[in-house]
Amino acid sequence: MIEFYPNSIYYPREAVEEKLAKGELDKTEKHLMGWTERHRGEIWDCARDDAENPTDEILLDNLRALLLCKGSLQPAAEMGDMIKEIKKEVWYRNEKEHEPAAEVAEEWRAKYLVKWREARMFEAFVLIEKRAADLLKILRA
C-alpha cells in the first residue's frame, strides 16, 4: 500500500481523524470524490499495468500514486484557501507595525507552502483510507 506522511511537520493521524469526525474535511472529501471521478480512466489505465483485473487495493494504490503525481485535488480551491491564510497573516502582522503585504506573502510561502501542501496530501490519504468503499464504487462504476 502506498502511504504518505508529511516530512516537514508533525501532523498526527489522530488530529486528521478528529477533523474528519467534526466535519472539517467535508470540502476535501467532496474534492476527492470529484477528483476520483474525473481521473477514473487514468487510474484504471495505470492499474491495468499492474494486473488485467485490478483488485480493490491495486485501484486504490493507483489512485494514491496518481494523486501524488498530480499534487493536488483541486488546485484552484487550494489556492483560495492559501490566499485566505496569507491574508490572515498579513492582518495579524500589521496589527503591530505595517509590513508590505507582498513581503508577508513571500515569507509565508517560503515558510509554510511545503508544509501546507504536505498536510493537504496527508488529509487526502487518510480520507482515501476512511472512504475506500465510496471511492471504489466510483472507480468500478
pTM of the entire structure?
0.90
**What does each of the 141 residues of the chain score in pLDDT, given as a tens digit?**
888 988 888 899 999 999 999 999 999 999 999 999 999 999 999 999 999 999 999 999 999 999 999 999 999 999 999 999 999 999 998 988 889 999 999 999 999 999 999 999 999 999 999 999 999 999 999
- Which residue ranges make up each domain of the chain? 13-140
Calpha distance 4→63 (Å, rounded): 13
